[in-house]
Every structure is written in C-alpha cells, then in structure tokens.
Amino acid sequence: MYEIPVFTSDTYNNTSYVRSGYLPFNPLLNKSLVSFQTIELYHHLFMRCPRLGIQPFVRALCDLQGVRFKNNLSVQISAAYDLYIRLVEGVRLKVRQALGRDSSNWRMLNNCPCCQYEVVGELELAIRMLLGIDGNNSLKRFQRREPPSEDGKSLGPEKEREDNRIGGGDYFLQPEAVDLWDESQWHKWPGWTPKERSPKIPCEDRWSNLKESNTNRTFGHFDVNGIFGGFCRHSFTIVFLDMIRTGEHSKYMLALLNHFMSASREDRQRLGLPKNPSGSLGVGYDIACGMTAKIIRSPLNDLAQKERLSMMIGLLHGYAHNRLCQLSFLLLYIQGAGIEDLEVCERYFAQSNALAPVTQYMGRFRRRQAIANYAYHRDNMESYHNLSRFIVSNYKQALGILSRSRNTACTLRAVGLLDVKNAAVWLDEEKAYLESHQDIPEEDTTKSSYYLALGKLWECQDELRRARSTFRMESGPPSELNIDHANQLVLTERQMVNKQEMEAKLLLDVQSLEERLGLRRDQRWKRDSEAWNSARELVQTAKYRKAADKLEGLTVARIFELSKMNVAGTGYKMRQHIGDAMKKCSKAILSALEEYNACAASLKPPRKLLDWDDILNYTYLSEFNFLRESRADILDKPWAKPAVREAMSELFKLIRAGEEINRLHVEIKRLLTYMKEEEEYFATVVRRHRDNDEPLAYQIWLHGRERSRFNEVHRTRLKSIQKLKGFTVSNSHFFQPGIGARRQTVDGTEVVDAEAEGQNPNNENSDESETEDEEDERTEAILTIANDPV
C-alpha cells in the first residue's frame, strides 16, 4: 500500500491512479492505494492455493511493511481486488472480441484442443467426446438470515444486501434455464408427451442420489447446496450449475446436457457441418443407470437421440453397481471407451474443494465470480499444461496392456474362447439371463413362508404340549397347595393360555398359506417329506442370498471409504476418521464373511467359499450376482465359469487399449494442429492491431501466452511417445500437424473444410499395435485401481 502521489491531467483521479499502476479502494476519496503487482500477486496465489483468503494475505503485507494489521485494510484490499477482477474481465472481453471469440458459448465449445479441435480428414471415433458430470456439495453458500422464529421451527428472513450482479460469466448456467428441467415443468416443452414411469431401478437402494426424496430436501441456512459440473476427460470445464435449495436433483443433469448438446448442434449448423454427429457423446455419471431411464421419459430424449448421447458409469463407481447395470454401463464393455475411467469429476472436485472455506460465506455474485476465475485458471494453467502428460501416460498404459496380448491369447485359447465375437454374444446372454431371473418366483416365496410358518406352528405345539403336562403334574387337590405352589401354578397356566393363543394365530397363518398353495387340510406337509425338504432348501438359499447381500453391501461401503481416502486434499483428521471407519468396516466384513461361508457350506451342492483376498480384490464385486444365483442351470453356461469370465475381462481390456491408442492418435494430431494454428493466428491478430492499438495488441499477445507457454513442453513430450517400446513406426504420421476444421482466419471467421467430414485416410487399426514382438514390460495401467489388492 502506498501514499497517494499527486496526479494531474485525468478528469477523474481514479483514472490516473489506474493509469499509473495503482488501484484505488473506493470511487471517491482515497488516502492510500495498492499497486497492481500486489493485487496480481494475490490473485495468482489465490488461484494456486484457493484456501488463501484476503485476510492472511493482508496480514503478511502488514508484517512486511512493519505496520499493525487493521480489519479495514482487508476490506479495502478486497474492494481493490474486486476492481482488479472487473478490469481483467473487461480486458479479456476486448481481447475476445478482437479474436472473434466473444459469443456466449465459444469457450464451452472450444475449450479442449484434444476433444474439440477437429482436424480435417481425421480418424472417426465411435465416441466423439467423453465427458464426466457430477454434483459436489462442498461449494455451498451460507445465507445470512435474521434469528429464527421463536419456536425455532423456521429460519429467519433473509438479511443480505441487494446485489443484482450475477457473476460467473460463461462458466455458469442460469437458474431459470435449470428449473425448466424440473419434472413438474416438463409439460411446458412443446411436443413432449408424458411417458410411464420406469420400474424400480435395481441400484436405487445403493445410491442416495437416485432417490427423489433425497434430492428434493433443502439444507437450512444454505441457499446454494453445491455445484453440478461437467468436464471433458482432460478436466476442461464445460459448465457449472448452482444446486439451489435441493440436493443432486436430476434437473441439473438434464439442463447441463441440454445446454451442451444444443449449443454443439447450433455450432455445427453455423459451421455448415453435417447436422448429426458421426460418433456418440459419452457421458459418465455415477448414477447413469437411473438417469438413462429419466432421460428417455424427459423432453431431452429427442435431442439425446439426435446427438447420440450415451450414458456410462465411471470405472470406480461402476463396480459398486448391480451386475446388470455393469453390463450396460461399465466402460470396460463399451465400444470406443478406451481405457478412460471417467472419474474426472472426483479429481476436479478434490482440488476445487479447497475453495469452499473462502466461498462459503461470500455473497452470491462474489462466490460465482471466484469459482469462475478458479475454473478459468485451472483450464488454462493446469488442464492445458497437463494435456501432453495425460496423453503420454495413457499411451504408455495402453501399450503396456497391448504388450500382454500374447499371454491373453493363450488364456483365451485355454478357455475355448476362439472367436472374439463370442465374448460379446456371451455378455448379451449373461444380460438376458440376469434380466429374466431378476425376481424370485412368487410360488417359491410362498413355499418358503409356508415352511417357516409350519415350523413355527410345530414348535409352538410342542411347547404347548409340554406346558399342559407340567400343569397337569403340578395341579393337585386345592387343600395341599401352599402359597408359593399356587403362584407357580397360576404362572404355568398363564403361559399355557398364551401358547394356546399363539397356536391359534399360527394356525390361521398356515391355513391362509395352504389356501394360496392350493393344499387341502389332509395335504399338510409332513416333516422330511419331499415338499418339506425342497422348501427347506429354498429357505437356506434365501438365507445364503441375504448373507451375500450383506457382504456385498459392506464391500461396496469399503470401496467408497477407500475412494475418499485416496482423494487428494482429504485432511489428516478426515483420513484418521476414515481409517477408523475402515477398521470397523473390515471387522464387520470379516464376520459377514464367516456368516456367508457358513450359509454357502450348508447348501446342496455347497457354494464356493470366499476368503479375505477375494473381498480385497473388489473387481470381485461383479461376481456377487453369480454367487447369489442358486439355479443349477447357470453352472452349464460357458460365461458363468470363473476362468472364462477372467479371460473375457482380459480380452475386453485389450480391445479397449487398442481403441485408446486410436483415440490418442486423434488427440495428438489435434493438439499439434491446435498449437501451430493458434500460434499463427495470434501472431497475425497481434500484428494487425500493433499499429493502431498497441495496448490491445499487447493484451492479445498476453492472452495467447496463457496457453502457448506450454507448447514447447507439449511438443517435447509428444515426441517422446515415438521412442516408447512397442510404438508402431507407421503411426508416426499422427505426430505431424494437420489442418484444423475450426481454424480461424484474421477476419475472425472459422474456416470449414468440407472435406473434414466423412474422410478417413488413416486405415490404421488397433491390431497393428498388437505386434508379436511386444514385450511384457509396460506398466499395468488400465484398471490399476480395480485390480489393486488394498
């Protein structure tokens, strides 16, 4: 902070302060100022370390300058920071206008070079872009209110200063656009007709955000309960939505997808590209199973079909879903998914959560502004910086998996899986089987109930018989009774009456079940009769299934705890807490495991017993449906044999790795083209403005440098791929820049090459990478998480 120097010539003092490199604290009278460099330093520190609020920064400044900290200094610096952000945003807008990039959706549609900068004649991908979407509860906002009502039941009225500014720019979708997607508003969409609700989703009990009653609830003092966001697989932001007074409601997902898909569609139309895209849009969401049904019923269905929306479940979350869901949504089985895990939201939020302590108490405008600034910084300084690292690391992982192809081929031969097509057919068979065996037949349930009711009735009758004989033995002539004996007799009589009442009740149960089973009185089952024995087996199987359910539930819970533990940014205390929870959970798993094994052994024939290692390897979760399956016919199916299942899994990993290499080739070419054309474009625009508006030319140059500073490291890293063991030399042509289908010219319009569509000069396919010479040295990357014995 500096004492005000005397400035002249400008009409307003503040203009002359800013011109001289200082920021004022208020519009009128300023006794001191702060330099741009100081505020810029704070801005960059805040972006890199969002936990850093203004106050500790101002305290540090006071320490440096040897003055005492006063609260009003924080208020002043905060006002100057607001002004700084306004100026930066104003400059950024001017630069965007000069670049012809100021339309409202430009950023969203052009943010990621690898996903969005199409190159003329590139390889067509089955999935054109992979996104992850999810809600996050950390970035909530506390609303200032008057004290609650006297009875304490309702919150006091809002007491915040009115602020009409919205904030967040093109990083946020407005609440009005979101509310249109609430189910109660669907009828307002033209052409939409109500469809029947889908039956209960098998995973509903497992995922709290699949239950509407959970997502509808509000959260007291918080008017914004968090954000819902979408990111491409390289962590570039698509858009954020504020979750206002609800949990992770389905309207956020629908609004986000509608916003992105309709903007992409309009953009293609504007550029004269074909109306319908060639590849699908893969969207990973942890509850994709339930949400797919919702999308089909909603007004979004039409657009989703045209844009070829395909919902998927991220790798880690996928294993916690029911096997039927896995067969439809697990990335391992989706054609074109590559080795992507689509857990990008978890990674993004793990870092952005650091914003929460600072933004929680901000006003609406300031909070959104801070989140948008953070996202801008993250997109350009981190996600862009990490792009080539991402590509190199995935390339290595995919080569590593492909290098095992010879071993996998041996395994496949050993289990008789000679034709790759069979694997897909077997998956379909498994799905059809599970679909047709979802519910236990009603007759089996009635038989089990009858078996249990009969058992209880007989037990009760035995006890009654015993009570009667005791009563007869104990009751003698009244004259011989002493008081104690008389009391005992009354007690025995009461027990006998109770048992009699119980018997009558149980008899009624038994009779009603006999009616349902169509049995006459004389056909009542006898102990050890054939019907009795088969019903006993049914009951034992049910008990066994229950034990398997419990074990599976605990294992799923353990995965979630583990995933929280591994997230960067989880504090020490939280980790301790999770560690304790894990220990308790492990004990519970051990006892559930014992119970499960006891039940499994009692079945005829006995089921496979599990050990601790099976539980630790959580890919085993996908086997639970089979464990529960009691019908003998399943054992004859080729796809139900453990060795075959394992071999199929290996095969799918191999296929996905081949796809990943293809996708990476496309991404590499896009990135190289993007860097070259952006550098040229910026240089031209800067040249154009240098003579008539030098400051603007400088700002455009600075804007270009935001990303171009990383270009050299990208080129070096991408080059290193060609030296990897297992790299196929004939793929080298992907490492040359092509011609961008969206490249811009100096007059600000994008050039579209009609040849961009439909051409596929590269007839490379994954098989070429699977050469015989590939060695088994690379890291085993795909599903490292999945295969990790923890």
Cβ-based nearer residue to Zn ion, 379 or 514: 379
Match 């949400």 to its residue by tokens: 291
Contacts 24+ apart (CB under 8 A), 148-157: 155/220, 155/221
Cβ proximity to Zn ion, 100 vs 202, nearer residue: 202
Is the Cβ of residue 109 or residue 489 nearer to Zn ion in the bound state? Answer: 109
The helix or strand, by DSSP H or E, that contains position 62, with its residue range, turns out to be helix 54-65
Sketch the per residue contact string, 674 through 693, with Zn ion: x for CB under 5 A, - otherwise: --------------------
DSSP state at residue 204: T
282-321 residues in contact with Zn ion (CB under 5 A) are: 289, 321
- 102, 93 contact by CB (below 8 A): yes
Query: Which of 25, 231 has the CB closer to Zn ion?
Result: 231
Beta-carbon count within 10 A of 549 CB? 14
Q: How far is the CB of 7 from Zn ion (least distance, A)?
A: 47
Which of 25-33, 163-171, 184-192, 201-209 is the region at the interface with Zn ion (rule: CB under 5 A)? Answer: 201-209
Q: Mark the segment that binds Zn ion (CB under 5 A) among 92-100, 106-114, 610-618, 754-762.
A: 106-114
**Can you give the three-state secondary structure of 368-417, one letter per residue?**
HHHHHHHHHHHHHHHHHHHHHHHHHHHHHHHHHHHCCHHHHHHHHHHCCC
- State both tokens at 34: 């702060």
Q: How far is the CB of 95 from Zn ion (least distance, A)?
A: 23
Pick from 33, 39, 125, 325: which binds Zn ion (CB under 5 A)?
A: 325
User: What's the rounded Cα separation, in Å, for the pair 263 and 230?
Assistant: 14
Task: In angstroms, give the least distance from the CB of 289 to Zn ion.
Answer: 3
Least CB distance to Zn ion at residue 143 (A): 35
Give min distance, CB of 366 to Zn ion, in A. Answer: 29
Q: Which residue has the tokens 């239950």?
A: 211
d(CA 514, CA 526): 13
Name the percent of the chain in helix, strand, coil, to the closest 5: 60, 5, 30
- Which of 129, 457 has the CB closer to Zn ion? 129
Output the smallest distance, CB 177 to Zn ion, in A: 24
One-character DSSP codes across 568-581 = TT--HHHHHHHHHH
Give the total of residues touching Zn ion (CB under 5 A).
Answer: 9
Question: Of the ranges 13-21, 32-40, 324-332, 484-492, which one interacts with Zn ion (CB under 5 A)?
Answer: 324-332
Integer Cα distance of 466 and 472 in angstroms: 10
Of the candidates 83, 85, 99, 112, which one interacts with Zn ion according to CB under 5 A? 112
Q: Does 323 help bind Zn ion (rule: CB under 5 A)?
A: no
Identify the DSSP state of 203: T
Place of tokens 């700002």: 699
Pick 232 or 423: Cβ nearer Zn ion: 232
Nearest approach in angstroms of CB 572 to Zn ion is 33
| Beta carbon nearer to Zn ion, 1 or 344 | 344
Distance in Å, CB of 197 to Zn ion, minimum: 17
**DSSP state letter for 242:** E
- Rounded to a whole number of angstroms, the minimum distance from the CB of residue 743 to Zn ion is 18
Query: Helix or strand or coil: residue 104?
Result: coil
- CB 212: neighbour CB atoms within 10 A? 13
Report the nearest approach of Zn ion to the CB of residue 48 (Å).
22
3-state SS assignment for residue 425? helix
- With residue 95 as reference, give the H or E element that holds it: helix 71-99
End-to-end CA distance of the chain: 53
- Of positions 77, 232, 243, 644, contacts Zn ion by CB under 5 A: 232
Do the beta carbons of residue 106 and residue 754 sit within 8 Å? no
Is 663 a residue that touches Zn ion (CB under 5 A)?
no
Nearest approach, Cβ of 53 to Zn ion (angstroms)? 32
Q: Facing residues of 178 across strands?
A: none
- Min separation Cβ 91 and Zn ion, Å: 27
Q: Which stretch binds Zn ion (CB under 5 A): 231-239, 299-307, 356-364, 492-500?
A: 231-239
By CB under 5 A, which span of 75-83, 104-112, 248-256, 600-608 interacts with Zn ion?
104-112
Q: Segment near Zn ion (CB under 5 A), from 113-121, 171-179, 299-307, 457-465?
A: 113-121
Stretch binding Zn ion (CB under 5 A), from 139-147, 199-207, 538-546, 562-570? 199-207
The stretch among 131-139, 229-237, 551-559, 633-641 that binds Zn ion (CB under 5 A) is 229-237
Q: Which one, 168 or 230, has the nearer CB to Zn ion? A: 230
Exposure on the CB side of residue 597, measured as CA atoms within 13 A = 12
Q: Which is nearer to Zn ion, 299 or 336 (CB)?
A: 336
Q: Which two tokens stand for residue 33?
A: 């100022």
Q: Which CB atom, from 234 or from 294, has the smaller least distance to Zn ion?
A: 234
By the 8 A CB rule, do 100 and 199 touch?
A: no
Q: Which window, 3-11, 189-197, 323-331, 772-780, contacts Zn ion (CB under 5 A)?
A: 323-331
Binding of Zn ion at residue 599 (CB under 5 A)? Answer: no
Residue closer to Zn ion by CB (options 123, 510) is: 123
**Binding region for Zn ion (CB under 5 A) out of 15-23, 195-203, 600-608, 697-705:** 195-203
387 binds Zn ion per the rule CB under 5 A = no
Contacts of 144-150 with C-beta under 8 Å, sequence gap 24+, read 145/221
- With CB under 5 A as the contact rule, the residue among 33, 115, 401, 467 that binds Zn ion is 115
The rounded distance, in Å, linking the Cα atoms of 179 and 241 is: 11
Q: Which is nearer to Zn ion, 387 or 417 (CB)?
A: 387
CB atoms within 10 A of CB 58: 22
Closest separation in Å from C-beta 566 to Zn ion = 22
Among 203, 227, 239, 781, binds Zn ion (CB under 5 A): 203
Choose the stretch contacting Zn ion; rule: CB under 5 A; options: 197-205, 238-246, 528-536, 591-599: 197-205
How far apart are CB 418 and Zn ion at their closest, in Å?
32
Task: Find the shortest distance in angstroms from Cβ 500 to Zn ion.
Answer: 50
> Where in 456-495 is the site for Zn ion (CB under 5 A)?
none
* Residue the block writes with tokens 């979750």: 243
Residue 554 CA to residue 112 CA, distance in Å, equals 39
Backbone angles phi, psi at 129, to 5 degrees: -155, 145
Q: What CA–CA distances, in Å, run from 341 to 177, 346, 620?
A: 30, 11, 18
Contact present, 404 and 654 (Cβ < 8 Å): yes
The one among 140, 141, 234, 742 contacting Zn ion by CB under 5 A: 234
User: Whose structure tokens read 């559930």?
Assistant: 592
Taking phi over 0 as left and psi of -120 to 50 as alpha, with beta for the rest, 336 belongs to left
Separation CA 74–CA 60 (nearest Å): 11
- Residue 668 and residue 115: Cα distance in Å, rounded? 10
Q: Name the residues that contact Zn ion, by CB under 5 A.
A: 112, 114-115, 203, 232, 234, 289, 321, 325
